[in-house]
Amino acid sequence: MQKADAVILAVDLGTSGPKSGLISIDGRFIADAFSPLEVNFLPGGGAEQNPSAWMDAIFVTWKELKKKNPPAWKNITGISVTAQWSGIVAVDRNGNALTNGIIWLDSRGNAITAKKFRGIVNMEGYGIHHLLAWIRKTGGIASHSGKDSLSHILWLREYHPEIYDNTYKFLEVKDYINLKLTGEFRATYDSITLQWITDNRDIHNIHYDPALIRRLRLDPEKFPPLIHATDFIGNILPSFAREYGIPASARVTGGTPDMQSACLGSGSFRPDIGHIYIGTSSWISTHVPFKKTDLFHNIASLPSALPGHYFIAATQETAGAVFKHAMEQIFHHPDWNPPHDINPYKKMDAIAAKAPPGSKGVMFTPWMYGERAPVENSHLRATHWNLSLDTGIAEYIRSMLEGVALNQKWLLPYVEKFAGNTFTKIHFIGGGSHSEVFGQILSDVLNRPVHRVENGIRSNLMGAFFVARIAFYGKDTDLSSFVHVDKIFEPNPAHRNVYDDLSEKYIFLYKKSVQIYSQLNAGQ
């Protein structure tokens, strides 16, 4: 049991940079801070970030939080980290990074992964014997996109064998941060999943599978010991406690990746309540009590940070990244800020509200870096369709918002079928939830009530807080009372026909353009 004034320091390292927040043990948000980061895009589908830059940026946010609220800072009793998933850092025995972090956008391992999992008899591009082995045990298999953690490891082994040989442990992003904070090499049952080497058929007995590791010809010693997300790793290192004025008794939890923390922070604890996250990427998810895989649409239920549960993983590659790219590269807006900031969405709202639903026939497909669900294709790219000389900026911007929503509409029925429920409501979180126009578009396109979670841009931080709350108070902790909705968007019947028609045309555009994208981007 924690004292009443205890505070949790939550850290959320997104692709665009880390946010850190101070949250009281009773769920009251005290303060937060953000520091921006860049992605280094490389030829051939590479996407990397400097692990040292991650830590430097995190510590910048810590210094700011300490200035904002010194009393709360002195009461930190727990630290809980969430971070971008499906990225790896190769570290030596001293915990030093041997490479940049290879993050979730990196597709350089696609050819290696495809070759590794081919067979004599194939289904969806995978050898049947591989599919049976992997899906039965892990719930999935390394995707053709090459963007899974396993693909990054296989790529390193193939093209940088000296780094592979010198690697002591391969760590997910969140687990690397925890290593730096505690000095302990650990992964959690949920963070390790996309390395596709654990048997998670029994949610209460997840473990490394020696047979899968042998088939991949990987060294089992290069993977860290496993704990629960809600276990404590240990206390923060004394050096950091002294440098940043954090109590030396502050304990660090196992933490969880961003998809899992969002699923917690959104309040989608039941299979009939879904959530949509709109950040750099996007997804539709909820918690379910079963393990299942939909190979045809790249959807699976994977271990959650919530003890005894799985969550639905159904990721779409780019959402908020589309808006950020448009403002930075196309419009050169002088007041543009990173997508964590509320102002860009308000600016987009002011522009998009001037265009009618359907954007006068202008359509946008948001596949700026390929797609994962409900189709997996790293060759897809974004396109504005049906532009004319009288197309204005309002139609241009609104069609982008509608395109992201239509992409979600394409995915929704597969997720609901997977969950075995039609969502009675959908909780809306992430930076995109700041857009009033997009919230209404989303409700209209999906034909579902969309409940915007209060401070939805902080849902990952709240999810990290929930992990710490469970760590301190036990798995039966009631979390629902901490989730609040600040606005409900109801579908507008007057827009039903417009968006139903656009949804059909959206899928038609995919079917007609998929071949040309593959030809244009075959070498990428």
Q: Reply yes or no on whether the pLDDT at 337 is more than 60.
A: no
- If one compares 201 and 3, the residue with the highest pLDDT of the two is 201
* pLDDT value for 360: 97
Domains of the chain, each with CATH number or no CATH:
7-254 (3.30.420.40)
Rounded to 5 degrees, what are φ and ψ at 155?
-65, -45
The sheet that has 299-303: what strands, in order across it?
Answer: 287-288, 310-313, 299-303, 293-294
**CB-side neighbour CA atoms (13 Å) of 185:** 19
At 178, the pLDDT band (50, 70, 90 cuts) reads: very high
| Token pair listed for 203 | 């949610």
Q: Reply yes or no on whether the pLDDT at 207 is more than 80.
A: yes
Q: Reply yes or no on whether the pLDDT at 237 is more than 60.
A: yes
351-409 pLDDT tens trace:
999 999 999 999 999 999 899 899 988 899 999 999 999 999 999 999 999 999 999 99
CB 135 within 8 A of CB 141: yes
Q: Reply yes or no on whether the pLDDT at 342 is more than 80.
A: no
Phi-psi region at 86: left, alpha or beta (left = phi > 0; alpha = psi -120 to 50): left
CB 168 within 8 A of CB 97: no
* pLDDT value for 20: 98
The per-residue pLDDT of the chain, averaged, comes to 93
Pick from 209-218, 405-414, 453-462: least confident? 453-462
* pLDDT value for 322: 86
- If one compares 219 and 378, the residue with the highest pLDDT of the two is 219
Q: Spell out the long-range contacts of 70-74 with Cβ–Cβ below 8 A and sequence spacing 24 or more.
A: 72/7, 72/22, 72/24, 72/30, 72/31, 73/7, 73/22, 73/245, 73/246, 74/245, 74/247
Angle at 166 between CA 160 and CA 167, to 5 degrees: 90
Q: Dihedral sign for Cα 459, 204, 201, 125, please.
A: positive
* pLDDT value for 320: 84
Q: Reply yes or no on whether the pLDDT at 523 is more than 80.
A: no
Go through 93-130 and write b for each residue having 16 or more CB atoms within 10 A of its CB, e for each that does not. Answer: eebebbbbbbbbbbbbbbbbbbebbeeeeeeeebbeeb
Q: Which residues, in sequence order, are CB contacts of 243 under 8 Å at separation 6+?
A: none
**CB-side neighbour CA atoms (13 Å) of 18:** 29
CB 386 within 8 A of CB 309: no
Q: Reply yes or no on whether the pLDDT at 324 is more than 90.
A: no
Concatenated DSSP letters for 396-442? HHHHHHHHHHHHHHHHHHHHHHHHTS--SEEEEESGGGG-HHHHHHH
At 331, the pLDDT band (50, 70, 90 cuts) reads: low
pLDDT > 70 fraction of the chain, expressed in percent and rounded: 96
* pLDDT value for 333: 55
435-480 pLDDT tens trace:
999 999 999 999 999 999 998 889 999 999 999 999 999 877 788 8
Q: Reply yes or no on whether the pLDDT at 339 is more than 60.
A: no
**CB-side neighbour CA atoms (13 Å) of 347:** 17
Q: Which residues, in sequence order, are CB contacts of 323 under 8 Å at separation 6+?
A: 339, 344, 345, 348, 400, 432
CA distance 418 to 412: 10
At 326, the pLDDT band (50, 70, 90 cuts) reads: confident
Q: Is the pTM of this model over 0.85?
A: yes
CA distance 138 to 135: 5
* pLDDT value for 346: 79
Q: Reply yes or no on whether the pLDDT at 341 is more than 90.
A: no
CB 376 within 8 A of CB 368: no
Mean local confidence (pLDDT), 61-81: 97
* pLDDT value for 325: 81
Neighbours of 462 (CB within 10 A): 31
At 192, the pLDDT band (50, 70, 90 cuts) reads: very high
